[in-house]
Structure 1
């Protein structure tokens, strides 16, 4: 038997409707989950607008948590009734990248597994999850148990925004105590960088963000200084440049700016997701002579079973106030219009509760 679910179908860019979709039964290594919460990420909005990928029709949503309904015959680590968060690794577990602790680089992560249909035709599973629905079907390797002490709406955000931002600090850049940190962009990912830098013991955390509301959030989460835009004050704060710069706005202009604002020998980590055809430029000789490090970051290079458990423990001790990212909660039918228009100004993470 298959599962009939309710889900948001993006028929084509800008056309989103709530439909009945069909989910295949779990194969041997798969897990069927009843969705409890899914955060709306900027990449969902960009895909729905046709600015990121061109695969349609698709059901999006990837910051997802819920309760396990059923499991395939080969599943051993997850059981019916478990509270889980979906990780974006979708990894094979035995390739070079998986075995060296970098499952986000696994080639199997983006291989499509046609498991959803709508009106008898194939429906793309956005980011391998399709969390804007009442149910999702994913592999066992993508499921991480959630402790009873962690609300499922908080756990959902660990799947992307928190994994990306905190992971960028701890796993990718490896920020050291006493460091001077600059964060460009204070959405869900940028604010997660602020939390990660605070936990890492950074001495100075400067945030550039045009939104008054988001700058206020950044200060509450540990930012020492916030600016609406680069200005003379930034030069005073930067000195000879920052030890670590994180770019989460996803703009070519701010990526180039991030590289320029790092000190000689500093580290720049790019987390934003610009359209796939865009490129940024750096002065070649100056970059070589500066010995700066330029790092890409995909979902914080997390190993979910290890890293998510660490984030949950830090949250339970009050050291990672992850729930501060949640600014509102809506139903699936309201999420359709938000996927088209984007979240209202000042929102950090809107959580969809089917």
Structure 2
């Protein structure tokens, strides 16, 4: 079957190309309505800052090959099932579904690769399910406890979802660190007690009653922020790194309080579950929890741009410019 697909073709270059796909008897055909650009990973690929030899994602069947150009990439598509193979129950036809699929006008998938969109959830909102799942995974890995001081570096989409989920915990204080004023406002609305610029963080977490933070998340995508997180960490604290820096290097000052304060740094990545969680959690439970959080949180203000699929190159240019009014960008498909 014919379709159009978005390709990253070179640093800061994208193209919409005609492609084809086949449909097996156990698959359905989905006509895409909207897909979300996940700015962290996709901008690394767009800028040429992702390791080209790295597999695209071994846990997502629709992402094959590596990250060398040209590459199709993306994992947040919502559309309508317009046809079903002979081995698929007819009840799937007509359903609106989510899939971890790249930016294509149409695609084939087996039913077990799809998540039906609940009646109460708008398709545009459903495209942000991967962000909710990533944030859920971050919170599971961080294991916040009652009364803790928690700091989240970065109020992009992942940071904001993480703040929203953390806001339901009985924390002592929830702080967002973000240089962009508009995003600090989003952070407060998502539940942060305090949202500050990086240079003002020390005033919030130091003093007689607050000697550093207990739990810190680095979600800004900026390697320098990891050093700031270590500096802001208190005794026996932990720093969870959810950012993927690609080929960018992180330079850390570990010669000050890092050792004496017994600070731990750990990675968090949504493709797998942490070993400490696998006895009670699997991916389906995590995804179901993420869907519950997606429905609980007020995410409508996070979607700042709806851009037609054929104008996708302009969407990446806008995100790459770092414009303060640009947060969650959706690609829309009208045909």
Does the alignment pair 1:207 with 2:186? no
Q: Provide, for residues 269-328 of structure 1, a one-character-per-residue CA deviation record: whole Å limited to 9, x for no partner.
A: 111121236244352795454333322111385645323333333444xx3223332122
**Structure 2 stretches of 5 or more lacking a match?**
53-67, 274-281
Structure 1 stretch 276-285 or stretch 56-65: which is displaced more? 276-285
SS of the residue aligned with 2:126?
helix
SS of the residue aligned with 2:94?
coil
CA positional deviation for 1:330: 1.4
**Structure 1 stretches of 5 or more lacking a match?**
88-128
Q: Distance in 1 between matches of 2:258 and 2:48?
A: 34
Q: Distance in 1 between matches of 2:151 and 2:99?
A: 30
Q: Distance in 2 between matches of 1:284 and 1:80?
A: 60
Q: Distance in 2 between matches of 1:137 and 1:292?
A: 46
Name 2:12's counterpart in structure 1.
Answer: 14
TM-score calculated relative to the size of structure 1: 0.76
CA positional deviation for 1:185: 0.7
Q: Distance in 2 between matches of 1:269 and 1:62?
A: 23
* Cα distance change on mapping 1:243 and 1:21 into 2, 3 Å: same
Name 1:158's counterpart in structure 2.
Answer: 129
Name 1:243's counterpart in structure 2.
Answer: 214
* Cα distance change on mapping 1:278 and 1:83 into 2, 3 Å: same
Aligned partner (choices 309, 324, 329) of residue 345 of structure 1: 324
Q: Name the count of aligned residue pairs.
A: 305
* Cα distance change on mapping 1:285 and 1:254 into 2, 3 Å: closer
Contact 2:164 2:190 in 1 (8 A): yes
TM-score calculated relative to the size of structure 2: 0.80
CA positional deviation for 1:222: 0.7
Q: Provide, for residues 20-74 of structure 1, a one-character-per-residue CA deviation record: whole Å limited to 9, x for no partner.
A: 111222475x554222221112221221221114311122322222223445677
Contact 2:213 2:234 in 1 (8 A): yes
SS of the residue aligned with 2:216?
strand
Name 1:234's counterpart in structure 2.
Answer: 204
Aligned partner (choices 297, 312, 328) of residue 268 of structure 2: 297
SS of the residue aligned with 2:162?
helix
CA positional deviation for 1:331: 0.7
Does the alignment pair 1:194 with 2:173? no
Contact 1:71 1:78 in 2 (8 A): no
Q: Distance in 2 between matches of 1:235 and 1:245?
A: 12
CA positional deviation for 1:176: 2.1
Aligned partner (choices 336, 346, 349) of residue 313 of structure 2: 336
Does the alignment pair 1:46 with 2:39? no
Q: Distance in 1 between matches of 2:198 and 2:250?
A: 22
* Cα distance change on mapping 1:48 and 1:239 into 2, 3 Å: same
* Cα distance change on mapping 1:239 and 1:306 into 2, 3 Å: same
CA positional deviation for 1:76: 7.7
Aligned partner (choices 173, 180, 185) of residue 216 of structure 1: 185
Q: Over aligned residue pairs, what C-alpha RMSD do you find?
A: 2.8
Aligned partner (choices 70, 84, 102) of residue 57 of structure 1: 70
* Cα distance change on mapping 1:265 and 1:191 into 2, 3 Å: same
Q: Distance in 2 between matches of 1:8 and 1:38?
A: 11
Higher helix share: 1
Does the alignment pair 1:320 with 2:297? yes
